[in-house]
Amino acid sequence: MTSHPAVPLMRTTPEGLLWEPSERWVRGRRGDVTVVDSRHPVLVWEPHLPVPQYAFPRADVRTDLLHPAQNPPRGGHTGPTVFYDLEADGETRPNAAWTFPADDLAGHVAFAWFPRTGTGLDHWYEEEEEIFVHPRDPHKRVDALPSSRHVRVEIDGTVVAETRDPVLLFETSLPIRYYIPRRDVRLDLFEATDHSTRCPYKGTAGQYWSWRGGAAVPPNLVWSYPDPLPAVAAIKGRPAFFNEVVDITVDGELLQRPVTPFSAGLRV
């Protein structure tokens, strides 16, 4: 049998875009209207963005709902991009879709995600699971592993959590997050807030807490996922702390506070 070298899936365009085909069935909706229904999407990485975007063959898009943008933005994407306004469900959303200039992606249309940008489509699904914020990067992974490590969390010298029953969440390019049973967290030292965020890999962090003490720490430094996605079900209901602003000791070793993409937003 003759062997052949593997053909790389990811490709590069002269404009600097990276892209690769995806085998996931993807749908995008504006209200009750399905605007995208594709079994042949492609993932596109722009040089200035750390996360991928989906682009879809025109045949899989309700192009009858797209019209040349009335006020297209300058820049925002790689190369001379053509923008479209979306008219669906009784509303016009400006600059909701665009095409990339690369010949490789000719005939494909990309969409903004409304909860993140204020325009584009409201809901996205991969197979039957709703996804949030942006497509999941197939070259990154998230693992939630139960552990027996001894984890202690302190704020300004006060122990606010201590456990030997954490779940360690390993996420590509981010520090380990330590999800701690509620019984082992001093939530009486914190105040619940109405803040919430979404993650394409974990779901909705629907509960946040802020420190009640006098230390100069940012708000919403503790969070939990009441109903996480199935892949990380082990973190359900467990609070976690931003390593960037608290002191975490693991098995007797004080961890260095990391600098991450979240650091800029964690200011007092």
pLDDT tens-place values along the chain, 268 residues long = 555 555 458 899 988 899 999 999 999 999 999 999 999 999 999 988 888 999 999 999 999 999 999 999 887 788 778 999 999 988 999 999 999 989 999 999 999 998 778 899 999 999 999 999 999 999 999 999 999 999 999 999 999 999 999 999 999 989 999 999 999 999 999 999 999 999 999 999 999 999 998 878 999 999 999 999 999 999 999 999 999 999 999 999 999 999 998 888 887 6
Q: What is the pLDDT of residue 9?
A: 81
Q: What is the pLDDT of residue 3?
A: 52
Q: What is the pLDDT of residue 50?
A: 84
pTM comes to 0.85
Decide: 185 and 233 in contact? Cβ < 8 Å: no
User: Looking at the chain, which residues constitute the CATH 2.170.150.40 domain(s)?
Assistant: 11-131, 142-265
CATH topology of domain 11-131: 2.170.150
- The alpha carbons of the chain give a radius of gyration, in whole angstroms, of 22
Cα distance between residue 57 and residue 40, in whole Å: 7
Q: What is the pLDDT of residue 57?
A: 97
State the virtual CA torsion across 145, 150, 154, 160 in degrees, nearest 10.
80
Matching CATH number, 142-265, of 2.170.150.40, 3.40.50.2300, 2.60.40.10, 3.40.1800.10: 2.170.150.40
Please give the order of strands across the beta sheet that includes 253-254.
158-163, 151-155, 247-250, 253-254
Q: What is the pLDDT of residue 8?
A: 52
Pairing between strand 129-131 and 42-45? unpaired
Pairing between strand 158-163 and 151-155? antiparallel
